Amino acid sequence: MANVSTKKVSPRLIAGFRDQSPSNMILKRRVMEILIKQFELFGFDPFDSATVQLETVLFGEDEWTDMAYFRTWNNQTRMTQDSEKMALRFDLTVPLGSYVARNIETISRPFARWQIGNVFRGEKPSDGRFREFTQCDADILFAPGVASDVQIVALMSSVMNALDVGFQIRINNRKTLNGLPIAFKFDPEILVPVLQILDKRDKIGEEGIRFELRGSPDDKGEFQTTDLGLSSDQIEQLIAFTNIEGENTERLDQAAQIMQGIPGALAGIEELRELLALATMSGVDESNILVDLSMVRGLGYYTGPIFETILTDRPELGSVFAGGRYDNLVGRFSDASVPATGASFGIDRFLAYAKSEGLYKTPLTMNQVLVAYQPDTLVTATQVVAKLREAGVRALLYDGEDITFRHQIGHAKVLQIPWVVIVGSREVADGTVALKNMLKRTQDSMSVSAAVEKILAV
């Protein structure tokens, strides 16, 4: 007989991946239940996509990307030059576009779906940044009008209200940003790097923006970037544009003045005016929505209104719910025109915030009852726990090494289980159980049906 190795395997996790304890999962499930309720209240249906996708689907026919991702393979299959290359999905939106393209003839229009699922990215893990994380998306496809953008903004507001947190929804329009080269007379070819710099305003401040747009270092040698060829006047004009203040209508009026004679940019401003008006009619509090002309998001991805939600007491955490209009995604797979809009809730970021702030009282366990017994009352205890479950009570039948009542009740105390049903020799003889209220520290004898009634009455 072959010798069996006794060498132990390290139980370590790969960096950037996490296990989730029951208490963490209970909190996560509570937030997910709030999200799902709101998603479906707004008419979105559940959907899921395959976790493993072809690289051509994720990155295009040339399969080129600068993204760090996870490639996957069946180890029982020999890889050849002609083998299809597969990878784990890095978001939920690209697989959605692929699904719509494959079902373009039969899919309902508009198509509103919500999806919660894990995605994978190979980037370097850091504090709050993981290689596996959960995305919570809501999107409407075949939806060309501002009405659908409004529904996304109203959904974001409704979700944040249901989560009972202070928030602000910031909105802008990519069409307006696309007018900047014409308004300030610089080469449209440098619009993307200009917007990338402007998008960092919250991180590096106005002075950092000025240094990076100039392409020169500050006194500390920081902020050095490629010289974009912008004049000092153009740099100051760009900074002034992102600093436009006032009420939302005032901000839009100032932007419209700057964008005079630029039809596309003005169309973006009018879309924002309509979005604001309809959002208010949809129940979004005016104080919770702000036109932010410095917000960029998704270069090369978003095509119209864009929006992001921040927590007003922790703005440094960044956006927790963001998205916008993207009308070109399905176009990579099909010639069909599929205008779309949507948003993604950052549940991992929000859970870290909720946990640090102690926002929700969540139990350590889902068990309502622990059934305690002695070795000679196991049969009756098994029957009792079955009756509890039949009545809809979440019940755990204890099965630990220490079978003393003291230890069993102590176990319930550690897990903060609110009730203990005791099935001892005396209870079996009397045809009763002892129901112990762990919070009030009271104990009474009664029938199983009476115990069920009392437990469910709380």
pLDDT at site 4: 62
Instruction: Please name which of 354, 451, 347 lies closest in space to residue 395, comparing C-alpha atoms.
Output: 451
Cβ proximity of 20 and 133 under 8 Å: no
C-alpha to C-alpha distance for 21 and 408, rounded to whole angstroms: 22
N- to C-terminal Cα distance for the chain? 60
Angle, helices 263-281 vs 146-163, to 10°: value is: 50
Residues sharing a CB contact under 8 Å with residue 406, sequence separation 6 or more, in sequence order: none
Across-strand partners of 113? 45, 139
Complete DSSP assignment for 206-261: HHHHHHHHHT---TTS-S--------HHHHHHHHHHHT--SSHHHHHHHHHHHTTT
Among candidates 134, 128, 165, which has minimal Cα distance to 359? 165
pLDDT, tens digit (0-9, with 9 covering 90-100), for 418-443: 999 999 999 999 999 999 999 999 99
Neighbours of 101 (CB within 10 A): 19
**Per-residue pLDDT, 225:** 65
Three-state secondary-structure class, residue 412: helix
**Rounded Cα–Cα distance for residues 382 and 294 (Å):** 64
Please return the burial class of 36, using the count of CB atoms within 10 Å of its CB with bins 0-12, 13-18 and 19+.
Answer: middle
How many Cβ atoms sit within 10 Å of the Cβ of residue 141?
A: 25
Q: Which two tokens stand for residue 18?
A: 């996490």
The single-letter DSSP state of residue 178 is T
In this predicted structure, what is the pLDDT of residue 220? 59
pLDDT in the model for residue 394? 97
Give the strands of the sheet with 167-173, arranged side by side: 45-46, 111-120, 132-141, 340-345, 321-325, 305-311, 167-173, 289-291
Hey, what are 238's tokens?
């760009």
pLDDT of res. 80: 81
In contact, 122 and 68? CB cutoff 8 Å: yes
Q: Is the peptide bond before 188 cis (omega within 30 degrees of 0)?
A: no
Segments of the chain scoring below 50 in pLDDT: none
pLDDT value, residue 82: 79
Asked if 140 and 152 count as a contact pair (C-beta separation under 8 A), the reply is yes
Instruction: Return the pLDDT at 221.
Output: 57
Which residues, other chains included, contact 356 with Cβ-Cβ below 8 Å and sequence gap of 6+? none
Q: Which residues pair with 291 in a beta bridge?
A: 171
SS3 45: strand
Predicted TM-score (pTM) of this structure: 0.90
pLDDT value of position 62: 78
pLDDT in the model for residue 32: 98
- Write down the pLDDT at residue 63: 77
Which candidate, 58, 204, 196, places its Cα nearest to that of 120?
A: 58
**pLDDT at residue 297, as a whole number:** 87
* Tokens describing residue 183: 């308004």
Query: Are the beta carbons of 223 and 217 closer than 8 angstroms?
Result: yes
The torsion angles phi and psi of 291, rounded to 5 degrees, stand at: -75, 120
Question: What stretch of H or E contains 280?
Answer: helix 263-281
Whole-number pLDDT of residue 219: 53
Residue with tokens 């290689």: 131
CB-based contacts of 300, cutoff 8 Å, min separation 6: 192
Q: How many helical (H) and strand (E) elements, i.e. helices and strands, does the chain have?
A: 16, 16
CB-neighbour burial class of residue 441 (10 A; exposed 0-12, middle 13-18, buried 19+): exposed
Instruction: Label residue 89 left, alpha or beta by phi (over 0 means left) and psi (-120 to 50 means alpha).
Output: beta
Distance (Å, rounded) from C-alpha 143 to C-alpha 161?
Answer: 25
The three-point CA angle 42-45-46 to 5° equals: 130
